[in-house]
């Protein structure tokens, strides 16, 4: 399946609304404003997908949230170690790696649920998040393992990438939405762009 520019634009716009909702939720949790960068929608060959996200061997903290319902997808949050610590310290968690991962999982839960909720409302699709799983490991191993689940039917990886910064801090992180093969077609259909595929 190939996606044209119009379809990618529509998916990016959808992602923008979802991540806007998520950023608002995070801001009210932290009591601090959160900047949302212009999201990107990337349709990539599977082999190129990890490099598009970052350096595969870098250690990152990640929160993975599976999404089920009308659509199978994964929400993936990626934090560089310093950003993870900064974000946790804003929540009063410092120095304990286990506690930090647990706090990141909570943040991921809020971000992921609000993103999925906005997307579900927009597309009239029923989507539910699984509980979050937080890990610290190589970026490549995390991203590839998420993509593997959706790779059975397609060599195309669709990444909807939003980046956020917590105002007044060096805390930046990536927020990826990875729909499964059938999910992409379903989303496009709901956005009124299914025919052009």
Partner 1 sequence: MSELVVRMGEIAATQHAGDVLVGLGLGSCIGLVIVDDRGPVAAMAHVVLPESNGNGAAGKFADTAIPQLIREVTAIGATRSRLSAVLVGGAQMFAAAGKLDVGNRNEQAVREGLRAHGIPVRAAVTGGNSGRTMRVYLERRSITCKQAGLEEIEIATWGSQVQMARAA
> Which positions lie near partner 1, rule CB under 8 A?
46-51, 56-57, 59, 64, 66, 130-131, 133, 135-149, 151-155
CB of 168 to partner 1, least distance (A): 30
Taking the complex as a whole, the smallest distance from the CB of residue 134 to partner 1 amounts, in Å, to 9
Nearer to partner 1, 38 or 152 (CB): 152
For every residue of the chain, DSSP letters joined together read ----HHHHHHHHHHHHHHHHHHHHHHHHHHTS-EEEPPPEEEEEEHHHHHHHHS-TTSEEEEEEEEEEESS-EEEEEEE-HHHHHHHHHHTT--S-HHHHHHHHHHHHHHHHHHHHHHHHHHHT--EEEPPPEEEEEEHHHHHHHHHHHH-SS-SEEEEEEEEEEETTSS-EEEEEEEE-HHHHHHHHHHTT-STT-
* Shortest reach from residue 172's CB to partner 1, in Å: 20
Task: Give me the least distance between CB of 138 and partner 1, in Å please.
Answer: 4
Which is nearer to partner 1, 21 or 113 (by Cβ)?
113
- Minimum CB distance to partner 1, residue 57 (Å): 6
User: Is the CB of 91 or the CB of 141 nearer to partner 1?
Assistant: 141
Cα–Cα distances (Å) from 18 to 57, 100, 144, in that order, read 29, 25, 23
Cβ closest to partner 1, residue 50 vs residue 176: 50
- 78 and 60 in contact (C-beta within 8 Å)? yes
* Of residues 60 and 188, the one with the C-beta less far from partner 1: 60
């Amino acid at each position: 399946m190939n996606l044209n520019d119009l379809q990618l634009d529509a998916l990016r716009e959808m992602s923008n609304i979802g991540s806007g909702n998520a950023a608002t939720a995070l801001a009210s949790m932290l009591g601090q404003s959160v900047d949302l960068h212009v999201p990107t929608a990337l349709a990539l060959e599977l082999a190129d997908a990890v490099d598009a996200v970052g350096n595969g061997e870098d250690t990152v903290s990640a929160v993975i949230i599976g999404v089920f319902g009308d659509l199978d997808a994964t929400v993936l949050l990626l934090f560089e170690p310093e950003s993870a610590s900064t974000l946790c310290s804003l929540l009063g968690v410092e120095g304990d790696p286990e506690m930090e991962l647990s706090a990141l999982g909570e943040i991921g839960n809020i971000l992921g649920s609000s993103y999925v909720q906005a997307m579900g409302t927009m597309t009239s699709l029923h989507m539910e998040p699984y509980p979050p799983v937080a890990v610290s490991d190589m970026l490549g191993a995390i991203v590839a393992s998420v993509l593997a689940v959706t790779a059975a039917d397609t060599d195309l990886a669709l990444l909807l990438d939003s980046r956020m910064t917590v105002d007044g801090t060096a805390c930046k992180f990536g927020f990826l939405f990875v729909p499964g093969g059938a999910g992409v077609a379903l989303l496009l259909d709901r956005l009124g762009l299914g025919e052009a595929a």
